[in-house]
Structure 1
Amino acid sequence: MVVRPFPYCGGVPQQSSNHCHLRGDALLPTRPRDLRRSCIKRAEVRPTDSWNHSEFRVFALSDLHTDYRENMKWVECLSASKHRKDVLIVAGDVAETYQNFYLTMALLKEKFGHVFFTPGNHDLWCRREGEGYHDSLEKLNKLLGACRGLGVETQPLVINGLGIIPLLSWYHESFDKEINITGYRIPPLEMACKDYHACKWPEELSRRDESLSLHFDAMNQGNEEKIKMIQTTCSHMITFSHFVPRQELCPEKRMLFYPNLPKVIGSDSLEDRIRSIHGTEGSQYACHVFGHTHFVWDATLDGIRYVQSPLAYPRERKRRMNGGESWLPFCIYADGEFTDQLSPCFWSDYYAANPRTPHDTQLAPWVARFYKQTTIAS
């Protein structure tokens, strides 16, 4: 997820030439003590190398962003021998350019027995390759074709009795149901979100309504028979998407450096589709992997476990609260069972111990210093 930073000084936006990539650990330059004390303490997640290599394992990873040299190097340095029997779920945002996307997926396919993929917003940017694609849907078709050629799975499949179901999705602004932050000069989405300029869509698909998100969701309908087969034959199922299916999987607006972020992260139809697969009440055998916001997250809501384990940007990992180098990709399933919860997860741990208070629209101190008040904020 990419937005531009717009700290306000004297009412004039101070626009940096660098882009602020909003995600979990960047939202807190340091850990506020009051929030840190409110988090659940869990045992640290086991490093990848600690799992028994004879087991059938499934790993989850999102937001690789291998247009960054450091991230491509990270992929190159993954073991060429330890994951030959393993499955890797890649929940979108591999790379902006087709060349880097293809190289990344080829490397992952060499290292893992099976690789699954669903696209993110960065994958469909036409900013650098605008002359080569009529629109982002054409680029989507090219990426899916590249996956077919490489042997990367983009369709539902059963492996060793486990059902794995990729879901196409996109976000819509009405996904945000919580109270807006008012009284501050917060830049509009067109200025803050690069998708509005880097993606290209047919005229009938709009970012402002649900038409774009519904278009992507409708593309999943072609897999309904495969999904029904998985539902009847598999006890454990993992669905995955790039975008966020529930607003509770993102911190409240007052905590975010860009308070309007929830308007460009998720889809109601995505959650509806997940529930149609796992059941409205979920089960202990249901898991959904997602990406996009770069928040490390592991929580169970209404019977479904939701996990995000992003590689994210190099500068984010340097100050990440949640680590990442030692346990990524995260082993989510091993030898017929889901693994223990990913830990530490600063924000999902925080909300496991504290209720959401979206009615509180007073910006957190580490956020408020970036914005000039237009009126007295209530």
Structure 2
Amino acid sequence: MRIWALSDLHLSHPGNRGALESLPAFPEDWLLLAGDVTHGERRLDKCFELLTGKFRQVVWVPGNHELWTVPRTTPPLSGVALYERLVRVARSHGVLTPEDPYPVVEHPAGPVLIAPLFLLYDYSFRPPHIGREDVVRWAREGGTVCGDELLLHPDPFPDRDSWCAARCEDAEARLASHPADLPKILVNHYPLEEQHAVLPRIPRFTPWCGTRRTRGWHRRFNACAVVYGHLHIRGTEWLDGVPFHEVSLGYPKQWDRPRGVAAYLREVRPEMRTAAERKVPIRSASVRDAGAAPRPSATRAAGRVAG
């Protein structure tokens, strides 16, 4: 069996929906969906129905788009209630979620635990001189506005920061409860390391890209690979001997449709050495896909809203 990863399908775009339907079957393999599949329960349900027929097992974590409360949608849920509703949709298709026990997979390289994480962000990926209370204004002054400020509601938590803190504390406890020497694949929509949240075209979008609470989790929890999306910049970064895969498909203009979606599946090959055994001369290195495109959803044009 093989483990594949993909994120940011954005199936609200018809071109992406049609292309996904043409994806061939991988009946022996697992698929890790790292969020931003779509917004709207109906499309998510159809996506799960499609992909569970093509893969042996699908694992899903939500991105910010799944958690959007879009006007005139049914049911009009938000925050935790919306997330829990989507978990039920996933489970109805046998899709594993962050609320399920972490599975241990018998990979050809050895047993590996797959940890789907839902951690959100807390605006801590910001310059040290910018306070939390000023970060949204600071981003707006640079021409960046995030749609989450209008559409992603944290209720019943008072703010997204608090929801993020609760999610991180829960995930930490769950990860710590597993054997330290068991290799783990960590799957989250957002980068776990601030140094990976690099967006040259829209540098002030980083506050919506993760949390410093997850710094060093790849070492602390013996990760053999980390999977994330959100940035729409495909590639692999190596840190402390661990591969960090950004696996976005992206909006229609960000990928080559004639190649098909299958060309953008990223195989996750677990780096099975223990943290103590990983001795690499270069602490951090990166390989970016030649086809990677800059994320267009946050722009410097006044009035445009970023995803």
- What TM-score does the superposition give when structure 1 sets the normalisation length? 0.63
**SS of match in other structure, 1:187:** helix
How many residues were matched structurally? 270
Question: Counterpart in 1 of 2:17?
Answer: 72
Confirm or deny: 8 A CA contact 2:11 2:17 kept in the other structure: yes
1:122 is aligned to 2:122: no
Question: Counterpart in 2 of 1:266?
Answer: 210
Question: Counterpart in 1 of 2:189?
Answer: 242
Question: How much has 1:211 moved relative to structure 2?
Answer: 1.7
Equivalent of residue 4 in structure 2, options 54, 59, 68: 59
Question: How much has 1:147 moved relative to structure 2?
Answer: 1.4
Q: Which stretches in structure 2 are left out of the alignment for 5+ residues?
A: 131-137, 274-284, 293-298, 303-307
Question: How much has 1:212 moved relative to structure 2?
Answer: 2.8
What is the rounded CA distance, in whole Å, between the counterparts of 1:132 and 1:288 in structure 2? 34
Structure 1 pair 260/105, CA: closer, same or farther in 2 (3 Å)? Answer: same
**SS of match in other structure, 2:206:** helix
Question: How much has 1:163 moved relative to structure 2?
Answer: 1.4
1:294 is matched by which residue type in structure 2?
H
Q: Deviations over 1:23-74 (max 9, x none)?
A: xxxxxxxxxxxxxxxxxxxxxxxxxxxxxxxxx1000101111111111112
Confirm or deny: 8 A CA contact 1:109 1:115 kept in the other structure: yes
1:217 is aligned to 2:163: no
Q: Deviations over 1:75-104 (max 9, x none)?
A: 211113xx1000101101111010000110
**SS of match in other structure, 1:215:** helix
Confirm or deny: 8 A CA contact 2:8 2:232 kept in the other structure: yes
Computing the radius of gyration from Cα coordinates, the structure with the larger value is: 1
Q: Deviations over 1:301-359 (max 9, x none)?
A: 1332110111111022259xxx885622111228x89xxx99653699xxxxxxxxxxx
Q: Deviations over 1:278-297 (max 9, x none)?
A: 2xxx6xxx110001111112
Question: How much has 1:177 moved relative to structure 2?
Answer: 3.8
1:205 is aligned to 2:158: yes
2:22 is matched by which residue type in structure 1?
C
Structure 1 pair 108/59, CA: closer, same or farther in 2 (3 Å)? Answer: same
Q: Deviations over 1:248-307 (max 9, x none)?
A: 21336xx32x331111111112335444312xxx6xxx1100011111120111332110
Question: Counterpart in 2 of 1:196?
Answer: 149
Name the stretch that deviates more: 135-144 or 213-222: 213-222
Q: Which stretches in structure 1 are left out of the alignment for 5+ residues?
A: 1-55, 349-368, 373-378
What is the rounded CA distance, in whole Å, between the counterparts of 1:193 and 1:100 in structure 2? 23
Q: CA RMSD in A?
A: 3.4
2:231 is matched by which residue type in structure 1?
T
Confirm or deny: 8 A CA contact 2:120 2:210 kept in the other structure: yes
Structure 1 pair 298/100, CA: closer, same or farther in 2 (3 Å)? Answer: same
Structure 1 pair 274/188, CA: closer, same or farther in 2 (3 Å)? Answer: farther
What is the rounded CA distance, in whole Å, between the counterparts of 2:204 and 2:249 in structure 1? 23
Taking the TM superposition and a 5 Å limit, the aligned residue runs for 1:1-378 are 56-80=1-25, 83-128=26-71, 132-154=75-97, 155=100, 156-160=102-106, 161-177=111-127, 187-188=140-141, 192-202=145-155, 204-207=157-160, 210-220=161-171, 223-224=174-175, 228-229=178-179, 231-232=180-181, 234=182, 236-251=183-198, 255-256=200-201, 258-278=202-222, 286-318=224-256, 325=261, 327-333=263-269, 344-345=288-289
What is the rounded CA distance, in whole Å, between the counterparts of 2:14 and 2:59 in structure 1? 23
What is the rounded CA distance, in whole Å, between the counterparts of 1:189 and 1:344 in structure 2? 26
Question: Counterpart in 1 of 2:296?
Answer: none
Structure 1 pair 119/188, CA: closer, same or farther in 2 (3 Å)? Answer: farther
Larger relative CO (CA 8 A, sep 6+): 1 or 2?
1
- What TM-score does the superposition give when structure 2 sets the normalisation length? 0.76
Confirm or deny: 8 A CA contact 1:168 1:219 kept in the other structure: no
Q: Deviations over 1:216-248 (max 9, x none)?
A: 2234256347x514x44x4x4211100111222
| Structure with higher strand content | 2
